[in-house]
């Protein structure tokens, strides 16, 4: 069962972009979106913080995360959650979330609207270092600890997403993203019912499976491959049974459906998200746009 709380030059550029594709959707590794009653052991305070974040109430979200950190100083997941909230706030400010749903967007490489905040970047790096240090210390004491593996997957995912979406340093994003996926796979090997971790597999399979043949061949040279149908199935599993990342999986699945021209399925997911998070205008606006275009 799920256990989320701890126990207290041109050729090179093409290669970099091919690898970074698998990281970018997971950028929103960042949006540690809230779970619901389907989760078995979510922490109420963390869950409240995630839900507030997804509703774009960043003040309440960060308050919940910092209070959790004070109550659970040895838990790396609290710091990974604060890191995610900080990054998600910056994504929202730079309008990067809106652009993922933009009509005709097939690149997964939206450009920020505005100037990235360097203090935010420094804070994300600081929180990531703290979360990694704590999770790695936990794994030295208890190898295979699931919450620590989850925190590391999230942390590396956020670092990779920031590198790709904000810094636009694609090779760096590839390295971080692959580390995050490795931790997710370790987690699923120990517990196949840790459904949030299927997001990493879903994104990787869908992105690499969507590449044109020349790019897919190039990616294969670097050990990167994927299958779109498998990717959609993994995302659907996380969207149906996930916990903290369950709404995030719905976002990614909606984006995948749009890339596949399945507007009715995307519209249904966006309408569900809009109903669940009515204070987030992005979902309502995109649900209306997609429904009107069906």
Domain limits, the chain = 10-292
Q: CA-to-CA distance for 67 and 75, rounded, in angstroms?
A: 12
**Residue 231: per-residue pLDDT:** 87
Nearest Cα to Cα of residue 49 among 183, 244, 293: 244
Query: What pLDDT score was predicted for residue 5?
Result: 44
Could you read off the pLDDT of 243-261 as tens digits, one per residue? 888 988 999 999 899 888 8
* R_g of the chain, CA atoms, integer Å: 18
**Range 91-95 average pLDDT:** 92
Mean pLDDT of 101-115: 66
Q: How many CB atoms lie within 10 A of CB 40?
A: 12
Is the Cβ–Cβ distance between 92 and 105 less than 8 Å?
no
Helix axis angle for 198-210 and 228-241, nearest 10°, is 150
Taken in order 249, 250, 255, 256, the sign of the CA dihedral is positive
Pick from 220, 111, 222: which is nearest to 171 by CA? 222
| pLDDT interval class at 161 (50, 70, 90) | confident
Domain 10-292 has CATH 3.40.50.10380: no
181, burial (CB in 10 Å: exposed 0-12, middle 13-18, buried 19+): buried
pLDDT at position 4 is 42
Q: Name the pTM for this structure.
A: 0.81
Of residues 24, 11, 39, the one with CA closest to residue 204: 24
189 neighbors 35 (Cβ within 8 angstroms): no
């Amino acid at each position: 069962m799920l256990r989320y709380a701890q126990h207290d030059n041109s050729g090179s550029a093409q290669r970099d972009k091919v690898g970074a594709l698998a990281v970018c959707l997971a950028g929103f590794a960042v949006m540690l979106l809230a779970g619901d009653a389907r989760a078995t052991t979510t922490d109420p305070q963390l869950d409240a913080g995630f839900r507030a974040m997804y509703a774009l109430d960043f003040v309440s979200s960060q308050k919940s995360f910092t209070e959790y950190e004070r109550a659970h100083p040895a838990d790396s997941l609290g710091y990974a959650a604060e890191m995610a909230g900080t990054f998600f706030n910056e994504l929202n400010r730079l309008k990067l979330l809106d652009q993922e749903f933009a009509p005709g967007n097939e690149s997964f490489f939206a450009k920020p609207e505005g100037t990235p905040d360097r203090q935010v970047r420094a804070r994300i790096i600081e929180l990531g270092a703290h979360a990694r240090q704590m999770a790695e210390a936990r794994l030295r004491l208890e190898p295979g600890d699931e919450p620590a593996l989850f925190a590391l997957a999230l942390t590396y995912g956020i670092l990779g997403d920031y590198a790709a979406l904000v810094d636009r340093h694609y090779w760096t994003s590839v390295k971080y993203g692959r580390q995050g996926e490795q931790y997710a796979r370790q987690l699923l090997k120990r517990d196949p019912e840790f459904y949030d971790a299927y997001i990493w597999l879903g994104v990787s399979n869908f992105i690499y499976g969507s590449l044109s043949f020349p790019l897919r061949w190039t990616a294969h040279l670097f050990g990167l491959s994927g299958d779109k149908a498998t990717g959609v199935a993994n995302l659907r599993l996380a969207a149906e049974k996930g916990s903290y990342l369950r709404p995030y999986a719905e976002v990614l699945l909606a984006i995948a459906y749009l890339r596949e021209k399945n507007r009715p399925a995307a519209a249904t997911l966006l309408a569900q998200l809009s109903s669940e998070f009515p204070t987030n205008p992005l979902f309502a606006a995109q649900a209306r746009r997609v429904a009107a275009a069906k």
